[in-house]
Structure 1
């Protein structure tokens, strides 16, 4: 975590230097906080809250739309519990022990680096709507009946609303999130959650 923080601060300072040399920049940096839970599901519960750094880069701007790339380092704190222990099948090795283990309430920590593509539609000089799709690698520290610990992927689809005040932009962003490991681990049912994020960013 220390290396990632150092890398992020170095990038941030480099961007400010570029801004001072070249004038108006296509870059913005920001911070989001969000929370959510699984869709109604009889097999498990999953609630989460998360923190995201935001690095925006405006690729292109036309009369009607803006196109942006978004890089999002994220730390996600989840709470998971198996409700339906029959989800663990008898054909699995040591299934009785696994059922007893998985029905316990667990804390799940996820470390994610999502890369997203954003299409923004300005509706005035201050307000805009946007659509966002992102995907990226993730490390999770806790094994559950739905997913092995270790390497996985996080996919997010979101729609957002932004309000701009001078160099600052304030966002509200409902989203849906799917997490799985693409079959790389022994368990790959994954989680599906509905979330909402609130954020602020600053144009460099």
Structure 2
């Protein structure tokens, strides 16, 4: 599944890059890597690292701001474990069996298509800071006490800082991430994580 997603992402980026070459500096492609963990709590542990391909499109530029659309296919690798077995309540069907199952350490793979909006403030000719908000559909391959296996959504809010070196742009981006399935599955407590992300992109 991971190899297929990477091949599809690479194919989409080749197609988009070919079209982007016809535009005048509206497109930027890149890659990023990030990692994070849950906010401290007594119920569960969750730590993750992830890889994203990135396509920026400049919608509008004013004297003080730039507005961009950001498309980010993502693969997220996480480890999760239930700590508080009483989170699974006795009224849950087969609750003792589920407590035993959910308290085991689990490896989770998430496949996400993030679509975001960026408001960027240039600082001189080299630096800029920005706000990013994104949401995207997601497939998760593992059921836990907090979320059902299958379809869900990933929401991200981030503040970033960039530095331009010729056609390249280097990014650092702290972020907050919430994952849930909007009530489409039987379990929907979701996960909340704090992350840090590092990226590089290239101006086409």
Alpha-carbon RMSD across the aligned residues, in angstroms, is: 1.4
Q: Distance in 2 between matches of 1:48 and 1:89?
A: 27
Comparing 24-33 and 169-178, the one that deviates more: 24-33
- In structure 1, the residue matched to 2:185 is 185
- In structure 1, the residue matched to 2:10 is 9
- In structure 1, the residue matched to 2:194 is 194
Q: Secondary structure at the match of 2:97?
A: helix
- In structure 2, the residue matched to 1:93 is 93
* Stretches of 4+ aligned residues off by more than 2 angstroms: 1-22
The two structures have a TM-score, normalised by structure 2, of 0.95
Q: Tell me how far 1:4 sits from its aligned partner.
A: 4.4
**For structure 1, which runs of at least 5 residues remain unmatched after alignment?**
none
Alpha-carbon distance change, 7 to 99 in structure 1, aligned in 2, over 3 angstroms: closer
- In structure 2, the residue matched to 1:137 is 137
Q: Tell me how far 1:20 sits from its aligned partner.
A: 4.8
Provide Cα deviations, 1:60-102, integer angstroms capped at 9, x if missing partner: 0000000000001000000000000000000000000000000
- In structure 2, the residue matched to 1:148 is 148
- In structure 2, the residue matched to 1:63 is 63
Provide Cα deviations, 1:172-202, integer angstroms capped at 9, x if missing partner: 0000000000000000000000000000000
Alpha-carbon distance change, 40 to 16 in structure 1, aligned in 2, over 3 angstroms: closer
**For structure 2, which runs of at least 5 residues remain unmatched after alignment?**
none
Q: Distance in 2 between matches of 1:94 and 1:84?
A: 17
Q: How many residues align?
A: 203
Q: Secondary structure at the match of 1:143?
A: coil
Q: Distance in 2 between matches of 1:175 and 1:165?
A: 24
